[in-house]
Amino acid sequence: MSDTRTTSDAASGTGTGGGGADPTRAISRRRLIGTAGAAGAAGLVAGAAGGSAAYAATRPDEPTALATVGSASVAFHGAHQAGITTPMQARGHLVALDLAPGAGRREAAALLRRWSETARRLMAGEPAGERDTGVALDAGPSALTVTFGFGRTFFDRTKLAARRPSALDPLPAFSSDHLDARRSDGDLWVQIGSDDALVAFHALRTLLKEAGDAAHVRWQMNGFNRSPGATARPMTARNLMGQVDGTNNPRPAEPDFDRRIFVPAKPPTGTPDWMAGGSYAVVRRIRMLLDEWEALPVDRQELVIGRRKSDGAPLTGGTETTALDLDKTGPDGKLVIPDNAHARISAPEQNGGAAMLRRPFSFHDGIAADGTPDAGLLFICWQADPLKGFVPVQRKLDRGDALSAFVRHEASGLYAVPGGPREGEYVGQRLLES
């Protein structure tokens, strides 16, 4: 798969001179290499399965070598772009750009060519070129991914409106929206993810410099997740409300995963051939009203979500992965999972099987003017068709989700993300040079 992680062998520790070996470095080369190699194998499994197994230590009584975090790499070339099924990374940057006045198809092609070569180098852990700033000089690739997408307006600016997918029609308005147009949409969209903050920043800075006079930044958002190895075992991430978030994500091992998430090799009517292997990203900046949320007792929070806060299991019992029993009632005759609980309303079986791959980052941008935390979720979801993935679920949530009282949708974007480039290609070449 295009975004499979690999891990190089770690360097061995050495003893100190004089009075004998330093006990903090007394790990044999064989043991350290074995740890790194096993972590690399875990990375291969995780890349194929889309889970978080890449972050597991090889044995509970042996620490993972620090070098394994930095040496993990993700392939730039492949059937799909990296950063879609790649396991969630610790640091992320989202940025949208608009083409400069007068820039069109030729300038866009030149920009995507430069960006693709730069992304290929950085994802391989190589310097960006002669003008590399050296910010990430001491680090490996750290699972860096760079993903490129096109907004609806990109096709007007490049005079390619006839090749714009119908799936890029504007999203419908939702009653819970409080959207800021200055932080929404954009001709071009770039998603950067890495397990190291400096590596992610270096990629962001380098790509923005490469944009030159061809495009200018419309908006930028920065996010984070838990760091690899921060938990005793691999687990689904938690959001800033403290909830286990992403339990029902479709998984690549499921037989219908590709059909739900990626445009097929022979795209359906209304989808141009250049989108084969691609996907559509819906991006939403969702502010969490944390003061109000944290004032609720945990048992009230669980009723809003429909799951236990401690482990993400349904209120109807079992473990995190146990199916919701949506018909179960308690001694009082009421539904155990309330009819307006978030887990109930967003469940695929409640939405005609609609599914999307959620791959978010949390954000915290300081304190807002009203004194409340400006924090929440940079929601990113992937699907083969947003009208069959995001839209029906969001419409249902908009009509009666108990969680809506504690969140505010403040920005939105929809982007066509073409398939991964072949060797020697740049992202979007099949569109821009057709």
Mean local confidence (pLDDT), 280-307: 98
> Rg of the chain over CA atoms, in angstroms?
22
Q: What tokens does 135 get?
A: 């910010």
Q: What is the pLDDT of residue 4?
A: 52
Assigned domain for 162 exists:
no
Mean local confidence (pLDDT), 185-191: 99
Work out the mean pLDDT of the chain and round it to a whole number.
Answer: 87
Find out whether 68 and 7 touch, Cβ atoms under 8 Å.
yes
DSSP line for 343-404: HHHH-GGGTTT---EE--EEEEEEE-TTSSEEEEEEEEEEES-TTTTHHHHHHHHHHH-GGG
* Spatial CA neighbour of 53 closest among 86, 91, 9, 93: 86
Please state the φ and ψ torsions of residue 13, each to the nearest 5 degrees. Answer: -85, 160
The H-or-E segment that residue 259 falls in is helix 257-261
pLDDT in tens, 142-187: 999 999 999 999 999 999 999 999 999 999 999 989 999 999 999 9
Task: Specify the DSSP class assigned to residue 95.
Answer: E
Assigned domain for 22 exists:
yes
Which residues face 215 on adjacent strands? 99
* Spatial CA neighbour of 316 closest among 305, 328, 332, 304: 328
Q: What is the pLDDT of residue 6?
A: 54
Give the helix, strand, coil percentages of the chain, each rounded to 5. 30, 20, 50
Q: Is the pLDDT of residue 42 over 80?
A: no
Assigned domain for 60 exists:
yes
Cα(61)–Cα(163) distance, rounded to whole angstroms? 56
Assigned domain for 16 exists:
yes
Distance of alpha carbon 316 from its chain centroid, rounded? 30
Cα(192)–Cα(422) distance, rounded to whole angstroms? 20
Q: What is the pLDDT of residue 66?
A: 55
Assigned domain for 263 exists:
no
Cα(153)–Cα(156) distance, rounded to whole angstroms? 5
Mean local confidence (pLDDT), 333-360: 94
Task: Say how many domains are in the chain.
Answer: 1
The H-or-E segment that residue 281 falls in is strand 279-288
Q: What tokens does 286 get?
A: 């969702």
For tokens 């091992």, the residue is 253
Assigned domain for 170 exists:
no
- One-letter identity of residue 427: V
pLDDT in tens, 120-149: 999 999 999 888 999 999 999 999 999 999
| Structural domain range at position 1 | 1-71
Q: Which residues contact 349 (CB under 8 A, 6 or more apart)?
A: 326
Cα(133)–Cα(121) distance, rounded to whole angstroms? 14
pTM for the complete prediction? 0.85
Assigned domain for 1 exists:
yes
Active site (catalytic) residues: 245
Q: What is the pLDDT of residue 36?
A: 38
Q: Is the pLDDT of residue 5 over 60?
A: no
Mean local confidence (pLDDT), 186-214: 98
Q: What is the pLDDT of residue 30?
A: 31
The H-or-E segment that residue 288 falls in is strand 279-288
Find out whether 108 and 418 touch, Cβ atoms under 8 Å.
no
The H-or-E segment that residue 219 falls in is strand 215-224
pLDDT in tens, 357-380: 999 999 999 999 999 999 999 999
Q: Is the pLDDT of residue 423 over 90?
A: yes
Assigned domain for 45 exists:
yes
